[in-house]
Amino acid sequence: MGSPGFTQQLNKSKLETLSKAEDRCDIFDILKNRFLSFKSKYIENVEQFENLAKAQAPKFMVIACADSRVCPSNILGFQPGEAFVIRNVANLVPTFESGPSEVNAALEFAVNTLQVENILVIGHSCCGGIRALMSMEDDANGSFIHNWVIVGKNARKKTEAAASTLSFDDKCRHCEKESINHSLVNLLTYPWIEEKVANGKLYVHGGYYDFIKCSFEKWTLDYQGTKLEEDGRIAAKNKVLWC
């Protein structure tokens, strides 16, 4: 039967397991209630959802960070059917030449099949992925995070050149915005994206959500004014700040 001490330890372990199980139930009860709340909205708008079941025609493709604090549907109020969304660490876009990835698969589907009219890349304050990019060693061994955020290495180089005297936190904030523009440049390496942008059939935008100040900056890439051969710098237009 074991010693009294062993029995006490076993009982304590059972109680802890039961407590954890109850916590999990509480968590899923919350999700259940949220789903039922959504279902009531579904029933109120059943015709809209029946149409969405047949096809989707979103105006936006959104590329956002996987960070739990920056859900684009919460921030910008996208409703079902309005935005085709992909999220990854640090909202990065690899170049066309980088080869297959979930990002360019989503781009291909959104642009060529869904015929979206806008691509919006959203970055944010206090981004852990950007901090990883800014703090990693150039010769670091290849962790999954390192191998992904290295996509933004040119944004890091530009930040180091432009903000060398700033603190590390300020450098990260600078790079958070620089990496968005870097992703906009990378979008233009896809021939079928650049062609549509050049013909005015597709627009690419940058967005920056500061969740400390609760503000949102938006700008649009000016294709005619952008000279990619000059260090990949973009020209921006229609800059706005919502606060």
Catalytic residues: 65, 67, 69, 124, 127
71 known ligand binder: no
67 known ligand binder: yes
CA dihedral 79, 81, 86, 91 (to 10 degrees): -50
- The number of beta carbons lying within 10 Å of the beta carbon of residue 210 is 17
Which tokens hold the place of 107? 């781009």
182 known ligand binder: no
124 known ligand binder: yes
DSSP 167: -
HSE-up of 206 (CA within 13 Å, CB side)? 26
Tell me if residue 17 falls in helix, strand or coil: helix
How far is residue 166's CA from residue 144's CA, in Å, rounded to a whole number?
Answer: 28
How far is residue 155's CA from residue 176's CA, in Å, rounded to a whole number?
Answer: 9
* Residue 93 burial (10 A CB sphere; 0-12, 13-18, 19+): buried
- Residues annotated in a binding site for Zn(2+): 65, 67, 124, 127
- Residues annotated in a binding site: 65, 67, 124, 127
